[in-house]
Each structure stands twice: as structure tokens, then as C-alpha cells.
Structure 1
């Protein structure tokens, strides 16, 4: 028993020292590990935020990108659409053909919202709504290749009623739509803004269909 106690007294300090060293080492490792993990977490968080910011910036740039063709398209198509709506409103109380009335409704439904959208684009691009000089867009000189009607054309259409109105409206709107289609195809070819090019495609498709319908009306009247 006495031998055992002496042996225990001899080994206890060493064991305590070893245990103490192991404990301190474990604490140091834990502390270092915590710092490393904390640093990794913060680092990852910063990288994630940076990537998100870059992605957002990229998307914003893409959505807002435009070129001169986009601006010209919007500036010219706005008054073009406005005149189409003016012609469509003349049909009220004057048109007699059911198909003419149907096309008038389609024009009003499609082009009024498009005007608001294009004005919004120009505002966001910080560009004027109208060009400084737009040949054929003053409604006075007739068709400058864009299908715009002259003041005399509009006055003549306003004076008509019934079948005469239907015929002149159909012919004028065919010319008007063909002008819009030409402008829209130019935007499809040269435009940069995704939304503007997409609208141009919708105009080409929708108004080409209406031109065919209007021609069919002329053929039977």
C-alpha cells in the first residue's frame, strides 16, 4: 500500500502536466479553428454579396442598354401610332363594315398601350419624345415613306361615311401599316434594346395580318 502511494505521488504531477498541456492545446486549436471559420464565413459572405451585386449591376445594364436605332424607332413610332388612333376614332359613326370596326378595335387595343410603353423607354433613356426634325411626321406633307397621312387625307376621310369611308379607311390604313412595318423591320435589324426589338417583332406580325385583312375588305367592297 505504501509503495503504491509513493508511486502515485511520483506520477501524479506528470499526468497533471500532460493533461494540462493537452487541455491548453485543445483550447488553442479550438480558438484558432473558430477564428479561421469565422474568417471563412465572413469571406464567403462578402464574396456572395459581391457576386450578387455584380449580377444585379449586369442585369440593370442589360435592361437599360439602347442605341440610336432604338431611340429613332420609339420617337418615330409614337406619332405614327397616334395618327393610327386618330384614324381609328374617325370610324365611330362613320364606318359601316363589321370587319373595319373589328380592325379599329384591334388598333386601339394594341397601339395605345404601345405608345405609353415607348414614352416610358424614352424617359428612362433620358431622350426627347420627339425628334427635332421628322420628315413626313408633321401630318402636312403626306407620306414620306413612313405611311403617314397628310392633313388633307385626314380631312377627306373625316368627310366620308358608310362604304366610302370603309374603302378609304382600308386603303389609308394599309399604307399606314406598311410604313410601320418598314420601321419595325429596321428596328429588328439595327436595334439593341431587347424590349424595343421585341415590340418591333409584334408590330410586324400584328400589322402584317391586319394588312391582309384590310386588302380582303377592299377586294369585296
Structure 2
């Protein structure tokens, strides 16, 4: 009988001990969770610092735009420089000079962005096949055969070839710039893309008018 009388007391004591264990576990769990919260806050702060360190919060589209537009502009400069001593039309010669004046500084600007972003000026051949203008892999890029033909032309023949090639070249740049406007993140890169679309669209219109009268 004594055994049965003490049973409720034993159960009560066991319950108290179990409750205490649960409380201790909960306290320990809270400490662990605090540590986890602290870790997540540190991680978030680190991500914010990284984002702020990146000029303009660039993304892959911005990098691709700069890496592709640099050689694209460089070929436009190469074409424009050929006009000296070859162009027969004064408007063609004047437009070639404007192209040089506009695109050379843009190349310098885009190179400075890539340096700030910690990215190479030229993309890898695996990620961007057909980068050289001999392959014609990029929108609007002339082949080496096209460039050789332009170099060999003079007078009206040069003017017509230059106008048609630069129209095609500009259209490729406009397409690339429109893609940057849609997918890019960096405000300065998107602004330059907007300038490319506006200025080169105007030049395409001018070049078409020149072709019509040549």
C-alpha cells in the first residue's frame, strides 16, 4: 500500500524534472537561434557591402555589353579612319570624323567600367565565340574580306561601300544597346546604351540618304 501511495508523488517529481529539462533545452535552443540570427545578419551586411562596392550594381548583361561593344566600336573606328584619303563625298568624310570623335571616348569609358568591375576587357573565346571580325560572329561586324574590300576602294566606290557597311555595323550596335537597356543594371552603362541607340539611329538615317543620292 505504501508503494501505491508514493506513486503520485514520484510522478509529480518526474514531471517537474522533465519540465525543467525542457526549459533548459529551450533556453539552449534560443541561444543557438540567436547565434543563427546574428550569423544571418552578418551575412546580409556582407552582401550589402559587396553590392555597394560594385559600381552601379552591375550584372552579367552590363559586362557582356561592354566586352562586346568595345571591339565593335574599334572596328567602326578602323572603318572611319579609312575614309581619310579614300572618301570622295564630303558628307561621308564628315560623318567618319564624327564617328571617331564619339566612339573613341566611349571605348575608354567602357574599359574603365570593366576594370572597376574586376572583369577582363575581352571575354573568353569559350563564352563569346566569333569575336574577331574575320568570323563575323557579332552583330554587324564586318568580315576580313569586307574590310579588305573597303581598304581597296576609293572615291564613289568607297563612299557606297562605307555607307552600306556602316549602316549594317550601326544596326548591330543598336541591337546590342537595346539588349543592354532591357537586361542591364548599371545606370551608366544603360545611359551609354541609350546614347548609342539615339546617335547611331540618326547616323543610319543620314547614311541611307547619302546612299540614295550616290
> How many angstroms apart in 2 are the aligned matches of 1:136 and 1:161?
29
* Contiguous gaps of at least 5 residues in structure 2: 1-48
C-alpha distance after superposition, 1:150-204 (max 9, x if no partner): 1111001000000000000000000000000000000000000000000000000
The Cα shift of 1:62 comes to 7.0
Picking from 58, 61, 78, the partner of 1:66 is: 58
Partner of 1:29: none
> How many angstroms apart in 1 are the aligned matches of 2:154 and 2:191?
37
* Contiguous gaps of at least 5 residues in structure 1: 1-56
Alignment length (residue pairs): 164
C-alpha distance after superposition, 1:45-91 (max 9, x if no partner): xxxxxxxxxxxx79954744100000000000000000000000100
Picking from 147, 156, 161, the partner of 1:163 is: 156
Task: Report 1:85-164 matches (<5 A).
Answer: 85-133=77-125, 134-142=128-136, 144=137, 146-164=139-157
Partner of 1:187: 180
C-alpha distance after superposition, 1:10-54 (max 9, x if no partner): xxxxxxxxxxxxxxxxxxxxxxxxxxxxxxxxxxxxxxxxxxxxx
Q: Considering only aligned residues, what root-mean-square deviation do their CA atoms show, in Å?
A: 1.7
TM-score scaled by structure 1?
A: 0.71
Task: Report 1:51-62 matches (<5 A).
Answer: 60-61=52-53
Displacement over 2 Å in runs of 4+: 57-64, 133-137
Larger Rg: 1
TM-score scaled by structure 2?
A: 0.73
SS in 1 for 2:74: helix
Partner of 2:35: none
